[in-house]
Amino acid sequence: MKIAFATPGHPDSGSLAVGILADRVLTESAQALDAATDGAISRALSGGKFEGKKNTTLSIEAPHGLGIARILLVGLGAADEIDDLRLQAAGGAALRALGRLGEVTAAFAVDAIDGCNIALDQMAAEIAFGAQLGSYRFAKYRTKTESGAGDTTVETLTMLTVAPEAAEAAWAPRARSAEGVFLARDLVSEPGNVKFPAAIVEDIKGLADIGVDVEILDQAKMAELGMGAMLGVSQGSRKAPYIAIMRWNGAPDGAEQAPVALVGKGVTFDTGGISLKPAGGMEEMKYDMGGAGAVIGAMKAIAGRAARANVVGVVGLVENMPDGDAQRPGDVVYTMSGQTIEVINTDAEGRLVLADVLYYTQTVLKPRAMINLATLTGAMVVTLGTHIAGIFANDDVLAEQLQDAGAASGENVWRLPLDARYDKEINSDIADMKNVGKSREAGSIAGAQLLQRFVGDTRWVHIDIAGMAWMKRGDDPLVPKGAAGFGVRLLDRLVADNFEG
């Protein structure tokens, strides 16, 4: 979908969206449109259920002679409660309603609102951002021309504002963020027979076009480095594993500044290995590379807007399959750190991948902070569901920065504990550790405790996005059903607010 900006006025085709505040209070554009239609908006609001509550919409057929086909009323809620996220949601809700109406072109009138302190250009940019995020659909493999449920038909959305140039400038970095989210969603949505490790490597190499330096570690290099944990996961697959390193050097003082490291688990398909998953729902395990997808998307967003920071993204790409060479329960693997892990459950493979990738990142790349994302544990879905991701940290400041970035971006996180008492649960009788703790007890914490053993003194946060990578309902105006791209906006905001010079 194309986002455009123009000065206020009635379009000559399509639909025109206007904001309505709580208790049916009309914005300036809604008032003008109401007068131009002899009170059509007031009549529609009188006695109806639409009251201007946030994320609600009401379509009105436009009177003959107005030019546009319909008027869309978009609820904004109370004026003093409007913030960036409320505006984004309004854009997403409007886009979804326009799609249900089969609209191809539309405009959204953006007005200054008494009681709302957000600048008009930023308001327009946020509404556009929400609409763009909500427009995503993955329909690559449909061969029929008719639209599927929930599809959007809107091809062009024009933001009408008295300051279109300023609004377009404010929109530019948000457009880059949306591109990063869409890349992450694309990678996660693709089936495992299309996006296996080598295929994703080729996608990553494409980031060189926007100034990202890409380095690839192949299986031989990983063996040379002693990455037995990650290689153990891959040994049952015919698809070779890779580690991709993406460097963006945008700091004003150049390469001298230590980078912020973003690390992602990229299990492109997870059968569970010998500890085979149940068949029901296994097709969704293509999203087990949601952490890697988020890191790749975040690097696209960060480089795309030319962030003034040094950022490195590192993803471990592997497929977990159960053939005759597959890793067995009870096997012991040597990690790059020299520590050994007894593999109790081959379906707890993500922490084996990250053990080597995190250790490589902190020892070789020497970041000033390290954040990893992973669809690590089903226990996290039980704990926090599909609204908030869980985080574990060895640094209070970094954890607070991430929580603030989550609140600002709408990708919320909640901190859970790390504790030596849980650490004892993963001690092994025959190796330094085992890859799972007690069955069903604090499974997310056990996974985090294992990862902590590979981060050294580096400031570090682990984000468990198991409940956030794939949305089954599609009721969020910014996130359609399927791949969420969760983490891209979060990481982009974290870098923007805390690490840019």
pLDDT per residue as tens digits for the range 418-428: 999 999 999 99
| Predicted confidence (pLDDT) at residue 148 exceeds the cutoff of 60 | no
Convert 377-404 into a string of H (helix), E (strand) and C (coil). Answer: CHHHHHHHCCCCEEEEECCHHHHHHHHH
| Predicted confidence (pLDDT) at residue 96 exceeds the cutoff of 80 | yes
Q: What is the dihedral of CA 4, 6, 11, 12, to 10 degrees?
A: -80
Given this model, what pLDDT does residue 151 score? 67
Given this model, what pLDDT does residue 145 score? 61
Catalytic residue among 277, 368, 415, 481: 277
pLDDT per residue as tens digits for the range 250-295: 999 877 899 999 999 999 999 999 999 999 999 999 999 999 999 9
What is the mean predicted confidence (pLDDT) over 236-253?
A: 97
Does residue 386 contact residue 468 with C-beta atoms inside 8 Å? yes
Q: Please give the Cα distance from 305 to 303 (Å, whole number).
A: 5
Q: Please give the Cα distance from 86 to 460 (Å, whole number).
A: 31
Residue 274 three-state SS: coil
Q: Please give the Cα distance from 111 to 121 (Å, whole number).
A: 10
Q: Please give the Cα distance from 397 to 321 (Å, whole number).
A: 39
Given this model, what pLDDT does residue 67 score? 87
Given this model, what pLDDT does residue 266 score? 98
Amino acid symbol at 219? Q
Q: Which two tokens stand for residue 428?
A: 């092994």
What is the pLDDT confidence band of residue 147, given thresholds at 50, 70 and 90?
A: low
Residue 268 three-state SS: strand
| Predicted confidence (pLDDT) at residue 59 exceeds the cutoff of 70 | yes
Question: Other CB atoms closer than 10 Å to residue 364's CB: what's the count?
Answer: 12
Question: Other CB atoms closer than 10 Å to residue 377's CB: what's the count?
Answer: 24
Best CA proximity match to 370, nearest among 306, 435, 463: 463
Catalytic residue among 351, 434, 453, 493: 351
- pTM here is 0.97
| Predicted confidence (pLDDT) at residue 445 exceeds the cutoff of 60 | yes
Q: Please give the Cα distance from 424 to 256 (Å, whole number).
A: 39
What is the mean predicted confidence (pLDDT) over 426-439?
A: 95
What is the pLDDT confidence band of residue 439, given thresholds at 50, 70 and 90?
A: confident
277 assigned to active site: yes
Given this model, what pLDDT does residue 256 score? 80
Lowest mean pLDDT among 33-47, 104-118, 134-148, 228-242: 134-148
Q: How far is CA 190 from the centre of its chain?
A: 15
CA distances from 336 to 100, 292, 353, 450 (A): 53, 20, 11, 14
Given this model, what pLDDT does residue 144 score? 80
| Predicted confidence (pLDDT) at residue 452 exceeds the cutoff of 80 | yes
Does residue 406 contact residue 468 with C-beta atoms inside 8 Å? no
CA distances from 493 to 94, 316, 393 (A): 25, 23, 18
Domains and CATH numbers, the chain: 2-162 (3.40.220.10), 178-498 (3.40.630.10)
Burial of 308 (0-12, 13-18, 19+ CB in 10 A): middle
pLDDT per residue as tens digits for the range 364-399: 999 999 999 999 999 999 999 999 999 999 999 999
Best CA proximity match to 420, nearest among 390, 446, 395, 397: 446
Q: Which two tokens stand for residue 375?
A: 């669809």
Please provide the average confidence, as pLDDT, over all residues in the chain.
96
What is the pLDDT confidence band of residue 329, given thresholds at 50, 70 and 90?
A: very high
300 assigned to active site: no
End-to-end CA distance of the chain: 33
Does residue 269 contact residue 286 with C-beta atoms inside 8 Å? yes
Given this model, what pLDDT does residue 97 score? 95
